Amino acid sequence: MKRLKNLLAAIVWMSAATSSANDFVPLDRAAATAVADPASHARPTIVALWSFECVHCKKNLKLFAEMAKAHPRLQLITIAAEPADDGLAAPLDRVGVTGKRFAYGDDSPEALAYALDAKWRGELPRTLLFDGRGTREAVSGVVAEAVVLRALGLQK
């Protein structure tokens, strides 16, 4: 009986995981403004901007997924700088990225980029780091764990 329960639970979990694969929230300007606002984040938060075609993004996503597991207080939010085509979730699922997943909605991509980070010029990966106490740091490219931990205020 217990085995059956476990099996059922596994099936439910797997189907949930499958459906969540395409479960991107379309990002609009209001959501972009909110997610980029330090006041929205009461705990250490990584907002990772990425795209399917970005070869350098995978390293950051893997690191952030590992960090999210190691630091229960850490919130990880990903934003694909493109609409959610089929298969967009694969690079996130592959490295075990959890947390809320956004993908660009119908608003002008330039308006969304501006709302997220007026200093961002489209290079990927781009990462917004919030310490949960009102500060925000933005960094382009592949990042080192120590840099991320410091910006998040999670340094030991």
Partner 1 sequence: MVMMTMAERATAGAGSEDGSAMTMKRKGSAGRLAAAVLLALGCATGAFAQHADHAAGKTAAARPARPELGTSAAFGPDGVLYAVSKDGQHVVLQRSADGGTRWDASVIVNAEPEAISADGENRPKIAFAPDGSVLVSWTRPLAKPFTGEIRFARADTGQGFGSPITVHRDRQEITHRFETMTVTASGQVVLAWIDKRDLEVAQRAKRDYRGAAIYAAVSDDGGRTFRPEVKVGDHSCECCRIAIANDVDGLPLMLWRHVFEPNERDHALAKLGSDGTPGAVARATFDRWRVDACPHHGPSLAVSGDGTRHAVWFNEKDGEGRVFYGRLKDGRVEGQRTVGGERAAHADIAVGGERVAIVWKEFDGERTQLRAEVSDDNGGRFRSLSLAATDGASDQPQVIRRGAELLAFWRTRNEGMKGYWLR
Give CA–CA dist 61/50, Å, rounded: 8
153 in contact with partner 1 (CB under 8 A):
no
22, two tokens: 């395409």
Among 48, 68, 97, 113, binds partner 1 (CB under 8 A): 113
Among 35, 84, 129, 148, binds partner 1 (CB under 8 A): 84
Alpha-carbon gap, residue 36 to 130, rounded angstroms:
9
Distance CA 8, CA 41 (A): 36
CB of 19 to partner 1, least distance (A): 14
Among 64, 102, 104, 130, binds partner 1 (CB under 8 A): 104
Among 45, 92, 125, 131, binds partner 1 (CB under 8 A): 125
Nearer to partner 1, 117 or 131 (CB): 117
Q: Work out which of 6, 134, 141, 147 binds partner 1, going by CB under 8 A.
A: 141
Task: Taking each helix axis as running N to C, give the angle between helix 145-152 and helix 57-70, from 0 to 180 degrees, rounded to the nearest 10.
Answer: 50
Residue 107 CB, nearest distance to partner 1 (Å)? 8
The encoded tokens of residue 20 equal 């969540």
Residues 39-68, interacting with partner 1 (CB under 8 A): 51-57, 59
How many Å apart are CA 46 and CA 114, to the nearest integer?
Answer: 18
- Residue 41 has what DSSP assignment? -
Is residue 142 helix, strand or coil? Answer: coil
Which residues of the chain form contacts with partner 1 (CB under 8 A)?
26, 51-57, 59, 82-85, 103-106, 108-111, 113-114, 118-119, 121-126, 140-142
